[in-house]
Amino acid sequence: MAMSSGRRPFGLSLDPLKGESLTGFVLRLAHRLHISPHELAQLTGLTEQDRLGRARASLSTRLTPVEIKNFAATTRLDPREVRAMTLEPLASRYPPAARSVANVRAGKVYSMHTDGWLFATTARYCPRCLAGDGSDIQSTHGGPWQILWRLPVVFACPLHEVFLEHLCPHCHKPVNFSSRAQLFPRPAASGVHPAHCRSSTDQDIPTSRPGAPCGAPLAHDPLHHHRPGPALLALQHKILRLLPPGGPKRPAQQYFTELLLLAGLVMICWPRVQAVGTTRQLAAAVGQHLAIHEGTDSRPYRSTGAPVDAFACAGLLQVTDRILAADDLREALSALAPEENRTRSGIPPTRHLIWDKNFKRHRSACSERFQLAADTIVPTFRRTGKGGLRLPSTGVGLRPEHIPAFLPQALAEHHLNFLSAIAPKMRRRSASVFLVRRARGGSLDEAAQFLEINPQGKRNGYTQLLNRHLRTSGTARDFEQALDGITAELLAGPVIDYQHRREALATWTLEPENWQHILAQLPVLTSHRKPISDDRRRLAVSAYIWTRATEGEPDFAPCPPHIAPDPGLRAVWTRERHNVFHWLREADHQPYYDALKPLLEDHAEHLAKEIDRR
């Protein structure tokens, strides 16, 4: 029984039908009381908040506690039944409904329906549902106008297994067409059956007062000669299971956010993906929907809103859902936004930029799986602000300090051999820089500085050379997948803090006593040249030990601090370091260096273990 509000309850009322919308209930009850829907709205308090005495369209989204109390008291309903006829119970699971509810709560009652995936009023219907279930009450006043029909993702009636309609079979106009600001068309005549069309017969004439309603029955045989097959019905059931209150909220929010975002990208890239996961008839319907908006002014086509036609919407959602459910989402997304889509396919870049902006806005509501795939493939990146630096990718799992400054050769050979046009040294160096940028965000130059391989005032080609090659060769996606594989191998092995090692060895040189101990185990150096001094060799082999302990690059080994300020001594050290590295690489041809190399390797391993224990 409704709570008291000071309003006189009607002598007759109706019980809400399962899933019925507020609009549908008012139409049925007004028909039973032989009054117009607008008059019923006045009697129940639905028009009191509008200065022109109208029933606002926002009432179907959310009612205030006072409005619920008044309506419930007048119609003899429980307040919970009244609230259930609005979109508010769906807001916790369907993000467009949540945004609309938030706008209404904030007082934006005339502009809350700005989302392309939410209909302002009932826009689709099932003819057989409107015909009723055969009971006396439904035979007299019609079946329920479902609240779920306001969601574009509901494209079929699972009970009757037909596609929903949106046009009147007689006037061929959207049913119950009215201003987006009003709940009912005006004047809302009292003699029109709830299951008949209320669109104005002269609504195309620009007058302030619409004409008489169409009045044609909507409980007709379905207009679509196609029926949803098992796959589409399974998709519809999947969507419907996520909507009712009571289930987990977060999975539903993530699924619908990703589904609607991805549907927008599918529309931008159509017909590239039309053969993926749908029938020819459904694909043709999607193509026809998109073709309507093509022309010199591409602004309407940039919209990523839902098709009103349920048949086209079903095809779009089926393609989108199958892409979203792919085992390898990154691979599945690659067909949607390859580089040529943004530059050479003729698709205006603005369309992708609009989608990028939308993705950034809703990115945090997506799952980590979707975020990571869209981050690296689309590509679009989170930034600190407009024009700001890139933020870290989510789901990477690899911290920047765990990335070696010079990718080990075995990893490079396993994952980067497709970059044959890039010098091996540059491949290894650049891969590490890109991995660090993934993990910590920012620019590539900052990532190189973190690895201490970007001396001030000297660029090493991390951005221009490799990025240019990836674009021109079409291997950007291959490179991202290679980084995935490298990341997985680094995570599978022992976790090493390479940054800690670099910091510990920044000013280190091999101790003279340890160098003498190593020398005692070596044969006499055989060379036609004059041997370099022991101290110069000690400083040169110190650089080699540093590279082995830190997995660093010889070119960036730190110069010993006591000679670094002197350009002459620094040049000598650089030359001798180069000579020692050369002969260590050619150790098979020099017994001296063949014996020295394993001793240096052992010392580097021992030194690294000591640092890791600190």
Q: Is the pLDDT of residue 18 over 50?
A: yes
Q: Kindly report, residue by residue over 56-77, the tens digit of the pLDDT.
A: 888 889 999 999 999 999 999 9
Q: Is the pLDDT of residue 466 over 90?
A: no
Report the distance separating Cα 498 and Cα 311, nearest Å: 57
For residue 561, say if its preceding peptide bond is cis, omega within 30 degrees of 0.
no
* Per-residue pLDDT, 385: 53
Angle between the N-to-C axes of helices 512-519 and 591-613, in degrees from 0 to 180, rounded to the nearest 10: 140
Helix (H) or strand (E) holding 257: helix 249-269
**Is the distance from CB of 571 to CB of 518 less than 8 angstroms?**
no
* Per-residue pLDDT, 226: 78
Query: Which amino acid, one-letter code, is at 60?
Result: S
* Per-residue pLDDT, 393: 58
Q: Is the pLDDT of residue 189 over 90?
A: no
- Nearest of 95, 40, 133, 359 to residue 251 by alpha carbon: 95
Tokens of 521: 């185990």
Q: Which of 160-174, 332-346, 416-430 has the lowest mean pLDDT?
A: 332-346
Query: Which amino acid, one-letter code, is at 45?
Result: G
Residue with tokens 């993702």: 153
pLDDT confidence band for 207 (50 / 70 / 90):
very low
Q: Kindly give the residue spans of alpha helices, DSSP state H, lying in 510-550.
A: 512-519, 534-550
Report the distance separating Cα 165 and Cα 175, nearest Å: 9
pLDDT confidence band for 205 (50 / 70 / 90):
very low
* Per-residue pLDDT, 302: 44
| Rounded average pLDDT over 192-203 | 78
**Residues 485-493: contacts with CB under 8 Å, at least 24 apart:** 485/414, 485/415, 486/407, 486/411, 486/415, 486/431, 486/435, 487/396, 487/397, 487/398, 487/435, 487/438, 489/411, 489/414, 490/398, 490/402, 490/403, 490/411, 491/397, 491/398
Q: Which of 119-133, 171-185, 355-369 has the lowest mean pLDDT?
A: 171-185
* Per-residue pLDDT, 486: 92
Report the distance separating Cα 83 and Cα 63, nearest Å: 7
Buried-state track 22-39, b at ≥16 Cβ within 10 A, e below 16 = bbbbbbbbbbbbebbbbe
**Is the distance from CB of 180 to CB of 113 less than 8 angstroms?**
yes
| Rounded average pLDDT over 223-228 | 74
pLDDT confidence band for 223 (50 / 70 / 90):
low
Tokens of 378: 């689309």
Query: Which one is predicted more confidently, 296 or 80?
Result: 80
Q: Is the pLDDT of residue 164 over 70?
A: yes
Query: Which one is predicted more confidently, 573 or 175?
Result: 573
Please give the mean pLDDT across all residues of the chain. Answer: 82
Residue 213 three-state SS: strand
- Nearest of 183, 67, 195, 175 to residue 130 by alpha carbon: 195
Q: Is the pLDDT of residue 534 over 80?
A: no
Report the distance separating Cα 518 and Cα 545, nearest Å: 13
* Per-residue pLDDT, 68: 95
Percent of the chain past pLDDT 90, that is, above it, reads 41
**Is the distance from CB of 60 to CB of 22 less than 8 angstroms?**
yes
Residue 56 three-state SS: strand
**Is the distance from CB of 123 to CB of 149 less than 8 angstroms?**
yes
* Per-residue pLDDT, 208: 41
Listing DSSP states for 20-58 in one string gives B-HHHHHHHHHHHHTS-HHHHHHHTTTTTTSTT---BGG
Report the distance separating Cα 124 and Cα 509, nearest Å: 77
Tokens of 19: 């899933």
| Rounded average pLDDT over 29-40 | 92
Q: Kindly report, residue by residue over 73-89, the tens digit of the pLDDT.
A: 999 999 999 999 999 99
* Per-residue pLDDT, 351: 66
Beta strands in 248-332 (DSSP E): none
User: CA separation (Å) from 223 to 169, 172, 595?
Assistant: 8, 11, 87
Report the distance separating Cα 337 and Cα 357, nearest Å: 15
Residue 156 CA, distance from chain mean position: 26
Number of alpha carbons in the 13 Å side-chain half-sphere of residue 122 = 34
Helix (H) or strand (E) holding 163: strand 162-163
Q: Kindly report, residue by residue over 101-147, the tens digit of the pLDDT.
A: 998 988 887 655 557 899 876 679 999 999 999 999 999 999 999 99
Number of neighbours of residue 598 by Cβ within 10 angstroms: 11
Report the distance separating Cα 488 and Cα 484, nearest Å: 6
Q: Kindly report, residue by residue over 424-456, the tens digit of the pLDDT.
A: 888 999 899 989 988 887 778 888 889 988 655
Q: Is the pLDDT of residue 572 over 70?
A: yes
**Is the distance from CB of 377 to CB of 480 less than 8 angstroms?**
yes
Sequence-distant (6+) residues with CB within 8 A of 563 are: 539, 569, 570, 573
End-to-end CA gap in the chain: 73
**Is the distance from CB of 474 to CB of 339 less than 8 angstroms?**
yes
Report the distance separating Cα 72 and Cα 66, nearest Å: 10
For residue 271, say if its preceding peptide bond is cis, omega within 30 degrees of 0.
yes
| Secondary-structure percent of the chain, ordered helix, strand, coil, rounded to 5 | 50, 5, 45
Strands 162-163 and 156-157: antiparallel
Residue with tokens 């393609």: 319
* Per-residue pLDDT, 220: 76
Q: Name the range with the highest mean pLDDT among 145-159, 179-193, 412-426.
A: 145-159
Report the distance separating Cα 606 and Cα 332, nearest Å: 46
For residue 187, say if its preceding peptide bond is cis, omega within 30 degrees of 0.
yes
* Per-residue pLDDT, 5: 54
For residue 79, say if its preceding peptide bond is cis, omega within 30 degrees of 0.
no
* Per-residue pLDDT, 213: 79
Number of alpha carbons in the 13 Å side-chain half-sphere of residue 36 = 14
* Per-residue pLDDT, 368: 87
* Per-residue pLDDT, 402: 94
* Per-residue pLDDT, 7: 75
User: CA separation (Å) from 287 to 191, 281, 301?
Assistant: 40, 10, 12
Report the distance separating Cα 134 and Cα 377, nearest Å: 53
